[in-house]
Amino acid sequence: MPVFIKPSDIQLREVKPFDAFPLGFSEGSLSALLFGDELSKALFMRGIISSVPSETGIYNIGPAGLIPPKGPLGGTENLYLGRVYSLDELVSALGLVEEASIVVVSGFSALLNRNVEGLVETRRIADERGLTLILTHETMEMNELNLPAEFTEHFLLPGLFDSLIVLRTNSYRGHYRLNITILKAPLDAVSALGDHSIPADSLVKPLLKLIRE
């Protein structure tokens, strides 16, 4: 059943993986992230988990690539990991998570039986339950010259998403940067569209040290 709302009555909470990230993720939103390497994925996942208030549930679900907590990590008391292997199972899982939670789906394009109808259903559930739903995929063979086609291949219907974001890292002489391309953003955040490059030593080096321990 269609539901009409007054924008003036809405006050949505927003979460960022870290302060310098150019775009936030709000309740009832659907975002698609492409990772160009494992380090950008690890940075984003640890950042988003650490930034979530302790009273908010955060779920990392998917067929692979789930991030178990290691070392000091904020919000881990409400962190849940879950396996799903098809889009139908993902839809069922979204009906079980707490309302107003943050849900990060790892390896979305590896799910079985992906189709536009199922994707629209995930969007409907995110809207109805106030979820911050982030679908992600990691690829080592990204066509940087045709990023819209990359999103169509991995996420079926890019027009359904509020945000389309590409993340990758690079390093030079021991220094790291996180490179971010935002192809689509909510209307109130259109200033974030385009390419961003953020110094990431303070994010990467503690993470690499933790991984080696």
**Mean pLDDT of the region 148-161:** 95
Q: Is the pLDDT of residue 1 over 70?
A: no
The dihedral of CA 61, 64, 68, 70: what is its sign?
Answer: negative
- Digit-coded pLDDT (tens) for 201-211: 888 888 777 66
H-helix segments, 76-200:
87-94, 116-129, 147-155
Query: How far does the chain reach from its first CA to its final CA, in angstroms?
Result: 52
pLDDT tens digit sequence for 49-87: 888 887 889 999 999 777 665 555 545 678 899 999 999
- Give Cβ neighbours of residue 142 (< 8 Å, ≥ 6 apart): 34, 36, 150, 166, 168
pLDDT at 154: 95
Q: Give the CA angle between residues 122, 7, 101 to the nearest 5°.
A: 40
Residues 104-131: what's their mean pLDDT? 95
What does the pLDDT read at residue 174? Answer: 84
Domains and CATH numbers, the chain: 19-212 (3.40.50.300)
**Cβ-based neighbour number of residue 213 at 10 Å:** 7
User: C-alpha 69: how far from its chain's center?
Assistant: 17
C-alpha separations of 1 from 4, 11, 48, 124, 128 in Å: 10, 23, 33, 11, 11
Query: pLDDT tier at 139 (50, 70, 90 boundaries)?
Result: confident
Buried b (16+ CB within 10 A) or exposed e, 9-19: eeeeeebebbe
Q: What is the pLDDT of residue 3?
A: 56
Q: Output the pTM of the full model.
A: 0.91
pLDDT: which is higher, 193 or 206: 193
- Integer Cα distance of 88 and 78 in angstroms: 24
* Predicted local distance difference test score (pLDDT) of residue 117: 96
pLDDT the model gives residue 78: 83
Q: Pick the closest to residue 40 from 151, 164, 176 (CA basis).
A: 176
